[in-house]
Each structure stands twice: as C-alpha cells, then as structure tokens.
Amino acid sequence: MILHWKSEFINKHANLLLISVIIISGIIAYSNSFDCSFHFDDENVFHSSITESTSTLADWLRLFPNRPVGIITFYLNYQIHGLDVWGYHLVNLIIHLANAFLVWWLTWLTLSTPAISKTEISRHKTAVAFLTGLLFVTHPLATQSVTYIVQRFASLSTLFYLLAMALFARGKLWQGDRTIAWLLFCGAFLCALLGMRTKEMVFTLPFAILLYDFCFFKTTFRKWRLKDESILLSGVILLVFLFWALRIVSFKSFDPVPPIQGYVFSISAKEYLYTQFSVILTYLRLFILPVHQNLDYDYQISNSFFHLKTFLSFSLLLGILAAGLMLFKRYRLISFGIFWFFLTLAVESSIVPISQNVIFEHRTYLPGYGFFLVLIASCFYFLRGRYFHLAVVLLLLLSAVNAGLTYQRNKVWKNEFTLWSDVLKKSPNKARPNNNFGQVMLAQGKVKEAIDYYDKAIRLSPGFIYLYNNRGAAYAKLGLYQKAIEDYDKAIRLNRDHFSAYYNRANAYTALGQNQMAIADYRQAIHLSPKFANAYINLGIVQVKLNHYQEAIANCSQAIRLKPRDPNGYYNRGEAYLKLGRYQQAIEDFSTVVRLQPEDYEAYYQRGVAHGKLDVHRSEIEDYSQAIRLKPDYAPALNGRAASYFRQNDTLSGCRDALAACKLGACQALERAKAGGVCR
C-alpha cells in the first residue's frame, strides 16, 4: 500500500513537471508573436464599421452568424483593449496551450483504456503523453492557427473538440457513481455544441466518439448496444448538428466556387476533391518536414481522377488507410491516429468546395493530433530495447528544432510587409500575392511600385475584380484620375454590385469636378451598402459644393449615426450649418470635431468663423489662435484673427497678423486695413 502510494505521488508530480515543460515550451516558441499585426482575413472581423464604439454584440454576430462563440471572444477582446494586438495573441496562445494540455490528457486517458492498459506501450504512458503534447505545442505548422489572429476559429473549435473527447473518455473510465459519468458526458455534449458554433469542422465529432469507443472500449461490433453511452451521446450530438447543418447547407454548397480569390477559373466539387488527394499528402510532408510554409499556396488544381499525380496520391492515401486497418489488432494506437487524421480533415478536404483556397495550413491543426500520435506510438512500438532511449532523445531534439522553426516562422507574421514578401517569393505567379504586396507598397507610399504589382496580377488573373479597384486607387494617388476611372469601370463591369468601385469612382469624379457623376456613384454605393458611412460623408461634401446644404446635412447626419466617432461627418455637417447661417449648430459640430481630433486646426478655424458671426470675439480669437498654434503658417486663421482684432480696435495685433498673412501670400486683412488707412 505504501509503495503504491509513493508511486502515485511520484507519477503525479512527474506529470505536473512534464505538463509545465509543455506549457513553457509553447510560451518560448510563441514569445515573439505578441506584436504581430492583423493580417488578411482579420480585416473581415475588425473592419471599421464593427470596431465603432457604438457597435453592439449583435453587430459583431452578423459577421459570422454560424460562428457566434468565436465572434464573442473577439468582441470581448475588443471591449477590453480595442485593436491592441497583444491581447488577441495572448488569448490565442492560451487556447493553444490549453489544447496542448488536452492532447496530453486525452493521450493519457487513452493509454488507460481497456484495449491499451494491459499492453506494453501503456507502461510508457507518461512519456507517450508528454511527447505527444510537446510535439503538438511546438510544431511550426500550428503557427497559422495561433499567430494568425482570425484563425482562433480553428484553435478554439479544436479546444472544444478535444475537451469533448477527453470528457467522454473520462466518463467511460469512471468507476464510481454513474451520475458523475453522465455529468461528464453532458459536459462533452456542451463542448460539442460550443465547438460546432465556433467552426463547422466539429461536425465530425460524433463519428470521432464512435471511433474512439470502438478502438479502445470495444473489440468487435457485436458488443455494440443501442443503450451504449457512445451511441446515445454521438446520436444526440449528430441530430443537433444535422439540424444546424440543414439550415446553412444546401445543394448550392456543391456549386463551383467562382473566381473571386485570385484564380482565373471556377473550382467544381469534383476538382476540389481530386485536388485534395495531393493536398493531404502535402499536409503530411509539412508535418514531417515543415519547410517552405506559405499562407497562400499556388496549388495546381486537378480536373481528372486519372491525372498521374492525382491517381498516385489517391493510391498512397488508400494505402495509408489500409495500413491503419491492418495494424488495428496489434497496434491500435497507430490505427486510431491514422483514422483520426483523415476523419478530422473530412469537412475541409472532401467533396464540398468550401473556397478557392484548396490548401490552408490551419486546417491541419486538429488532424495534427492524429499524426503526432502515430509518430510517437510508432517509436514506442517498433524501437524497443536499446533504441528506446535513443528514440526519446531524438523526439526531444525534434521538439526543440520545431520550437526554433516556430519562432522563426512567427517573424514572417510580424507585419504585412514581412508576410506578403514571403508569400510572393513562394507564389510569384499567383495574382493574390501580387495584389496584396501591391497593397503593402501603396500603404508605404510606393505608388508606382504598387502599380507594377497590380499590373502583373492583372496579367495573371484578368477577371479578379479587386485588382482594378486597387490599381485605380493607386492611379488616383498619382492624380491620374481618368486612368483611375477606367479601372473602376472595369471593376464595375465585372461585378455590378461592387460598391467600393462605385465609391472610389465617385471620389475620382469629385477630384475632376464632375460633381453630378460623383453624386450618382455615391448614391449607388449607398444603395449597395446602406451602412457605408464614408459614402454619406463624401456625398455631403459634394452637396455643400453645389449649395445643396439641407441634403448635405441629412447625409452627414446619417454618417454620424453610423460612425459617431468619425470627425469627418461632424466637420462637413458643420460647414453646411455655417453656410446656412445656423452658427450655434455649426459650433456644436466643430466642437465635437476638436474633441475627437484635437489636432484639427481647420475645425478650430471654422469654429472661430462661427463665433465671429455671433460676435463672440473672445472665443473667435481663441479658436483662431489655437489653429495658428497647430499650424503657424495657416493664413486663413491669421487673416481671421487680424480682422477680429481690427473690429475690436486692437490695431497693433491686427496689423501683426495681417502682415504675417501677407508674407504667406494671403493679404486679405491687410488690404482691408490699408484701405481704411489703419496699417502703414
């Protein structure tokens, strides 16, 4: 009894130590990821209309209505620390570390099941569980699920998936009161619901439960009973999943994916499936040799099952599955790992063409558990005796190398330039990397270089509508508005519902003074996107130019309702109020502008004008003075303050400002003063 107690004590503390090593290894591997910027699809979650202070949880949930759990975590992140990326990365890393613990726990429980507990490998369950968790937490293929912020969908759904499996396994192993076991099963059911509402890949969970039960608690199909916990639990989960799936999936889900993500052609369900045969082998290669990782692979699409690469890939995958079946009796852990790998890939690597992105590394996050289980189990099954300790040392070294590769891979995710320059090196002949690197160049002010990349992208994919919109924006920055309009025309011909192209074309028309054309395009952009606040603002600006002040006020007011923290809506509405002689309302709007944007010298000047109209000269002079402090060479404020001084008979101050304005080439107040014989 005493020896048994000591053994339990030692095992408990050894496990705590090993779990700590797993956690610390993960923290070290991702220690340089906390300042990595938002990227790519992050914009879909954190675009400006959602990150407004007045946005509610309901507004966020409308982004991905089928993934509310993941969206709620982003919403909470935003409420706590806005757009500071550090907090998002912290949550992502915590989820990853929790998943590594669950990998350890599920492996430990698996090695305690009836089918495994009396086998040789169960004697090494401490080492097997530890090494599986360690490889999982350090492997660089997980970086896309951890460092890429929006892929929290993948890591969080994996957490619920693994936790459901672990709770189910613990319930099956429970030897005491069955009430506790059923509470564990209920916990697994709750995790299943949360997981499915995080990402649709959790649909395979009920089948994973049945697979796990068959591999480790059953030895033959003849032992299945309808009252088995696994059948009841998986059956209820599956019914709920089917109910949700029928609401979001239809036969249209099998329609070809149109060329909207950079390819020049559509991808059918058949082509997607054929391509997945080689994609899955690529995933396996990346697990074995994680080099040349890429966010945006330029992957060859297969359109025939009998293409040599497709047929050979299918044959090899079939061989791996056959090996899983043949190894089942003696090496059940390896078989389970193989089946887990294919099962958990089934949603994203099958016949449903979920996107033109036929390959994404984050799709390997959950299947990776199966791969690591096969690798570790194979080492313990086949490298016995004197090779056992050597295998453990090599696996530890492999984990250390993987941690180093993960650390290096995170450097690629540092910012948009490092990410897309890396992608462009690896996919130089794909339109989307050229387009996105062009966007990086444009943001850096390298407009001509950006146009070169847009040109190449258009040659590669002339039907990719965003390319024309982006190149048009670059031409507009160079003042080549007519060329910009030509590109916007092409974008609109490709997609009549592309509201951004209408908006940008309207801006170009405004710059050319073609105000009626601009108004028509702004209205079309608003029709297509009624919550597009910038379109209302710019429409209001044009209407002020045309003296349509009431319409301008109405449009700016709508923009303010949509984006109450955007100072542009208040500024332009204030201008319209000023033109209409509604000076107090103008003052209120310009006051809001300077509160939101304290460095806006023009808003101070405009408020000074309004105060002058109301003969509030002290406030008028204060506003002009603040505008001048912010921009000492701002002639309108100098002239305005000079005129105010003259009205108050402060000739010395008035002449000083008037002369200063004259030196800037704006002598309005000075000329008026000279005409009155004030300044000599």
3-class DSSP string for 527-556: HHCCCCHHHHHHHHHHHHHCCCHHHHHHHH
Residue 470, pLDDT score: 95
Within 8 A by CB and 6+ apart from 250, the residues are: none
Instruction: Pull the structure tokens for residue 11.
Output: 């095992």
Within 8 A by CB and 6+ apart from 21, the residues are: 130, 134
pLDDT at 11 over 80: no
Residue 6, pLDDT score: 40
Tens-place pLDDT, residues 487-506: 999 999 988 998 999 999 99
**Biggest alpha carbon–alpha carbon distance for the chain:** 113
Instruction: Pull the structure tokens for residue 141.
Output: 């293929």
Q: How far apart are CA 441 and CA 477, in angstroms?
A: 12
List the single range of 36-50, 271-285, 501-515 with lowest mean pLDDT: 36-50
Q: How far apart are the first and last CA of the chain?
A: 111
Instruction: Pull the structure tokens for residue 585.
Output: 């309302």
Please provide the DSSP assignment of 211-242 as one string.
HHHHHHT-SSGGG--TT-HHHHHHHHHHHHHH
What is the residue-averaged pLDDT of the chain? 90
Amino acid letter for position 419:
L
Within 8 A by CB and 6+ apart from 41, the residues are: 150
Q: How far apart are CA 402 and CA 143, in angstroms?
A: 11
Q: How far apart are CA 108 and CA 153, in angstroms?
A: 26
- Is 607 in contact with 577 (CB distance < 8 Å)? no
pLDDT band at 617 (very low <50, low <70, confident <90, very high): confident
Q: How far apart are CA 603 and CA 584, in angstroms?
A: 14
The helix/strand/coil state of 257 is: strand
Q: How far apart are CA 408 and CA 426, in angstroms?
A: 16
Mean pLDDT of all residues in 559-567 = 89
Amino acid letter for position 619:
S
Tens-place pLDDT, residues 121-131: 888 889 999 99
Q: How far is CA 75 from CA 6, 51, 87, in A?
A: 48, 9, 12
Q: Which residue has the higher pLDDT, 323 or 65?
A: 323
Mean pLDDT of all residues in 171-181 = 88
Instruction: Please provide the size of the chain in residues.
Output: 680
Buried b (16+ CB within 10 A) or exposed e, 620-649: bbbbbebbbebbeebbbbbbbbbbbbbeee
Q: How far apart are CA 654 and CA 255, in angstroms?
A: 74
Cα three-residue angle 185-191-195, rounded to 5 degrees: 145
Q: How far apart are CA 469 and CA 230, in angstroms?
A: 53
pLDDT at 521 over 60: yes
Q: Which residue has the higher pLDDT, 96 or 620?
A: 96
Instruction: Pull the structure tokens for residue 626.
Output: 């603040």
CB atoms within 10 A of CB 255: 12
Buried b (16+ CB within 10 A) or exposed e, 492-503: bebbeebbbbbb
Residue 609, pLDDT score: 92
Q: Nearest-CA neighbor of 131 among 400, 409, 338?
A: 400
Within 8 A by CB and 6+ apart from 468, the residues are: 458, 487, 488, 490, 491, 494, 501
pLDDT band at 444 (very low <50, low <70, confident <90, very high): very high
Residue 591, pLDDT score: 94
Instruction: Determine phi and psi for 267, rounding to 5 degrees.
Output: -125, 120
pLDDT band at 4 (very low <50, low <70, confident <90, very high): very low
- Is 59 in contact with 72 (CB distance < 8 Å)? no
Run of H or E residues at 140:
none
Amino acid letter for position 314:
F
pLDDT band at 385 (very low <50, low <70, confident <90, very high): low
Instruction: Pull the structure tokens for residue 209.
Output: 């439960």
Q: Nearest-CA neighbor of 373 among 41, 108, 58?
A: 108
Q: How far apart are CA 99 and CA 142, in angstroms?
A: 11
Please provide the DSSP assignment of 567-622 as one string.
HHHHHHHHHHHHHHT-HHHHHHHHHHHHHH-TT-HHHHHHHHHHHHHTT-HHHHHH
Location of structure tokens 């989960």: 237
- Is 135 in contact with 376 (CB distance < 8 Å)? yes
pLDDT at 409 over 80: yes
- Is 364 in contact with 287 (CB distance < 8 Å)? yes
Residue 680, pLDDT score: 62
The helix/strand/coil state of 312 is: helix
Domains of the chain: 18-412 (no CATH), 601-680 (1.25.40.10)
Residue 150, pLDDT score: 94
Partners of residue 504 on adjacent β-strands:
none
Q: How far apart are CA 169 and CA 116, in angstroms?
A: 13
- Is 426 in contact with 294 (CB distance < 8 Å)? yes
pTM, whole model, 2 decimals?
0.89
Amino acid letter for position 3:
L
Q: How far apart are CA 208 and CA 213, in angstroms?
A: 8
pLDDT at 254 over 70: no
